[in-house]
Structure formats: structure tokens, C-alpha cells
């Protein structure tokens, strides 16, 4: 048997120091009993937040509702909060398939399967991404303007699908569907149209919808959802 903190570190769940903090917080159990700092155990006995530690070598696919204020990386040298902190309970190391900037929120897929991550992110697989965007500014003609191809970072975007959900006192709320997902693309599109983004939330990728998943929470993808991304590859 090995110390729990060492096992969690080996699985990529957390560093040893982070694992010790999880144990002290009562998030780790061994055989259903709250673990103690310095305790040893077998992998199959360990659970985090009530979820069993995932065996090494097993592929895992999850969706996370990323809150604002978190960076889409596993470590941040500037000390900012990362999505890794939100998915420690997955029980193994998973990586983001795509990104959402620190001020954006919503659907983020995470996995340890590189082939699947490529199916999610590569433009050739044509997985459209849909965002609910609240903007400030004059939205007259904005649906048409945002729908047109525009040059973003020396790249001409494909036409977007844009629908005005409702007007607000200082702007409006749009549903914007794009196919590329270049760095901060939606924000740059809005900026070119004279609009300032106040909030941005990704609500779907392909046929996968965020649904009622609460901010900061995650769930495993179903077999059908996974197959929907990889079929035809």
C-alpha cells in the first residue's frame, strides 16, 4: 500500500500538497471512511467527493460548466484559479478539449483521450459552438453584421448564425453559433461591430448541450454523447 497523497499525485488528480489539502478537507475516503493525513491505501479503496478513483489507463470524458474567473489550464504560473481545481473529483488527470477565456463561462469538455479531444476541437470535424452573449452598445443591424465573415487575426471567418434573443436597456442578448472557435473570436467579432461583451457563455458544442448543469459542476458524458463526436473518424 502507498500513501493516499502519493496515489492521487500519481493519478494526476492533484499534487501531493493539493492532495493533502483535499484529505484535510474531508473530500477523500477509504472504503467509505473519511481518510486521514498520512494514511495508506489501495487504489480501488479510494474515492474523492464520493466518486471512486479512476483506474489508470481508462479513458474518461466529462463536461464541465466552467465559471468565470477560472483559466482553462491545469497549472497557472500567475496563481490564478484553474479548471483543474473543479475536476479533482474525476479521479484521474483530464485535460481541456478547447478553451474558454478567464471571463467566459459554460460548456468545457475535458478528457484524457487525445483522439477524442481532436474530434472536439479540430475545425475539419465541423463541430459548431454556440454561445449566449450579452452585449452593450447599439445593436441596430447587429444580427446581420455579426453573421458576415470577418477578418480575425489575419484569418477570414466563416459566416456565423446569429439570433437576437432580446433587447436590453443598453444593448441586447444574442445566440451566436460559429464553426472555428479562434482565440477570443466572439469578443473580437463583437468589437468589430462596435459592441462590448458583458457576458459570454458557451451553451453547446455540436449536439452536446450544457443543459441544467450548474456552474462549477461536471458530469460524465454518456456513451451516446461520446459516439456522437468520434463517429466517422
H/E element, 47: strand 46-48
Q: Which of the residues 49, 76, 101, 138 is marked catalytic?
A: 101
Concerning whether 101 is annotated as a catalytic residue, the answer is yes
Residue 139: all three cell numbers together: 445593436
Task: Tally Cβ neighbours within 10 Å of residue 110.
Answer: 27
Taking the C-alpha atoms of residue 230 and residue 75, their distance in angstroms, rounded to an integer, is: 28
Q: Given CA atoms 225, 227, 231, 233 in this order, what sign does their dihedral have? A: positive
Mention every residue, 6+ apart, whose C-beta is less than 8 A from residue 210: 63, 65, 106, 107, 202, 203, 204
Taking the C-alpha atoms of residue 4 and residue 211, their distance in angstroms, rounded to an integer, is: 35
Q: Is 216 helix (H, G, I), strand (E, B) or coil?
A: coil
Give the DSSP letter string of 156-213. EPPPPEEEEEEEETTEEEEEEEES---TTHHHHHHHHTT-EEEEEEEEEETTEE-TTP
Active-site amino acid positions: 101
Amino acid at each position: 500500500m502507498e500513501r493516499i497523497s502519493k496515489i492521487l499525485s500519481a493519478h494526476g488528480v492533484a499534487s501531493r500538497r493539493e492532495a493533502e489539502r483535499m484529505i484535510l478537507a474531508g473530500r477523500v475516503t477509504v472504503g467509505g471512511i473519511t481518510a486521514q493525513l498520512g494514511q495508506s491505501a489501495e487504489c480501488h479503496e479510494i474515492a474523492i467527493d464520493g466518486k471512486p478513483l479512476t483506474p489508470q489507463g481508462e479513458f474518461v470524458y466529462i463536461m464541465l460548466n466552467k465559471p468565470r474567473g477560472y483559466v482553462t489550464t491545469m497549472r497557472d504560473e500567475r496563481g490564478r484559479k484553474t479548471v483543474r481545481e473543479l475536476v479533482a473529483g474525476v479521479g484521474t488527470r483530464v485535460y481541456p478539449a478547447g478553451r474558454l477565456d478567464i471571463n467566459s463561462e459554460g460548456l468545457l469538455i475535458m478528457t484524457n483521450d487525445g483522439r477524442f479531444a481532436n474530434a472536439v476541437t479540430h475545425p475539419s470535424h465541423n463541430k459548431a459552438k454556440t454561445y449566449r452573449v450579452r452585449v452593450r452598445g447599439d445593436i441596430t443591424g447587429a444580427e446581420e453584421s455579426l453573421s458576415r465573415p470577418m477578418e480575425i487575426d489575419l484569418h477570414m471567418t466563416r459566416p456565423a448564425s446569429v439570433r437576437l434573443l432580446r433587447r436590453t436597456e443598453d444593448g441586447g442578448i444574442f445566440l451566436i453559433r460559429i464553426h472555428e472557435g479562434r482565440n477570443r473570436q466572439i469578443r473580437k467579432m463583437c468589437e468589430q461591430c462596435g459592441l462590448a461583451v458583458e457576458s459570454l457563455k458557451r451553451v453547446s458544442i455540436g449536439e452536446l448541450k450544457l443543459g441544467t448543469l450548474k456552474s462549477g459542476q461536471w458530469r460524465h458524458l454518456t456513451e451516446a454523447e461520446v459516439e456522437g463526436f468520434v463517429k466517422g473518424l
